Amino acid sequence: MTETPEPPADPEPTILVPIDVHGEAVLPSGTAALLANARVVLLGYHEIPEQTATEQAREQLGEPAMATLERLGETLTDAGVTVETRLVFTHEATTTIDRIIYEHDCLAVLLANAVPHVENVLLAVRGLVGLDRNTALVAGLFADRGTDVTVYHGRDADEPVAEARGVVTETERALVDRGVEPDAIETVVEETDEPVAAIAQQAADHDVVVMGETNPSVTTVVFGMPADRVAEEFQGPVLVVQRPRPET
């Protein structure tokens, strides 16, 4: 798992792994193996209440937090993963995560959960908008590992079946172009009016879920981000593919 015989078809995708370093932080088991082909940005964040100045928290908690983060980073470097660590004291973890994604141009964020082995991956796609980045991630991480990939698209009642099939076949073709074995790919289209539940259900037969990020809206504020909800139900690792950030 530590050495790759050939370089992957795509350059190593950059993956952000945010970890709350408050208390006894651990990387869920299997994370290093999952990210063997990635460049990892390990973000240790410490979210503190507004009453506390960030400098005050760093003064008291900076050293132990940095030690924790270094320990977590070592478990990844020991497994041969390229790791860069950042430690941030923040009043708003989401702001911090967003900034680091932007600064490191991360392709995806890992919602870490334990994973015993990585044999099959569920790639849930909503359409062709994120095609490039979705397939770059899956191929970059898994193409040379003989991992099975299920391309899944839950269509709503309004979407014609042919169109939905087109989405998955197009995705399949892109994966093959990027070096994934055609035999390793399976495609699934189903009708659903509850995409999150449907993805979580599909995920039950898979080791890892790859899905796109969602724009914040009233629904996401009330129910939470779809990726978080999938991770919660699935209890396994979810890679959330990020949209490209605008150039500044």
Partner 1 sequence: MDPSESSDPTRPFDATGVPTGVDLPAAETAVDADTGEGELERTIGLVGALAIGVGTMVGAGIFVFPGLAAARAGPAASLSFAIGAGVALLVALPTAELATAMPQSGGGYVYVSRALGTGAGAVVGLGLWLGLVFASAFYLVGLGSYAGQVLVELGVSLSVQPAVPLGVAFGVVLTALSLFGTENTATVQNAIVVLLVGILTLFLTYGSLDALGVFGTETTPERFFPPGGTLAVVQTAAFVFTSYLGFAQIATVAGDVESPGRTLPLAMVGSVVTVGGLYVVAIFVATSAFGSARLGAFGETAMVEVARAFIGLPGAIAIVVAGLLATLSSANASILSGSRMVYAVSRDGLIPETASRINVRYGTPHVALGLAGVPIVALTATGRVGLLAEVASVLHLVMYGLTCVALIRFRRERPGWYDPSFRCPAGTAVAGGGALASFGLVGFMQPASIAVGTAVMIAAYGWYRAYASDVDLEGERA
**Is there binding between residue 76 and partner 1 (CB under 8 A)?**
no
Nearer to partner 1, 65 or 111 (CB): 65
105: alpha, beta or left? (left if phi > 0; alpha if psi -120 to 50): left
CA distance linking residue 202 with residue 234, whole number of Å: 9
State the DSSP H helix or E strand holding residue 142, giving kind and residue range, or none if neither: helix 131-142
Size of the site for partner 1 (CB under 8 A): 31
Nearer to partner 1, 53 or 114 (CB): 53
65 three-state secondary structure = helix
Q: Exposed/middle/buried for 34, CB within 10 Å: 0-12, 13-18, 19+?
A: buried
Q: Which residue has the tokens 């993963």?
A: 81
CA distance linking residue 191 with residue 198, whole number of Å: 9
Taking CB under 8 A as the rule, which mask of x and - marks residues 36-75 in contact with partner 1?
--------x-x-xxxxxxxxxxxxxxxx-xx---------
**Is there binding between residue 168 and partner 1 (CB under 8 A)?**
no
Provide, rounded to whole angstroms, the least separation between the CB of residue 54 and partner 1: 4
Which pair of structure tokens corresponds to residue 239?
Answer: 């890679």
CA distance linking residue 236 with residue 30, whole number of Å: 10
Provide, rounded to whole angstroms, the least separation between the CB of residue 27 and partner 1: 18
Q: Which residue has the tokens 């399949």?
A: 172
Q: Which DSSP category does 156 fall into?
A: P
**Is there binding between residue 216 and partner 1 (CB under 8 A)?**
no
Nearer to partner 1, 40 or 122 (CB): 40
Taking CB under 8 A as the rule, which mask of x and - marks residues 189-208 in contact with partner 1?
--------------------
CA distance linking residue 94 with residue 96, whole number of Å: 5
Taking CB under 8 A as the rule, which mask of x and - marks residues 82-121 in contact with partner 1?
----xxxxxxx--xx--x----------------------
Nearer to partner 1, 57 or 199 (CB): 57
Nearer to partner 1, 49 or 182 (CB): 49
Residues contributing to the site for partner 1 (CB under 8 A): 22, 44, 46, 48-63, 65-66, 86-92, 95-96, 99
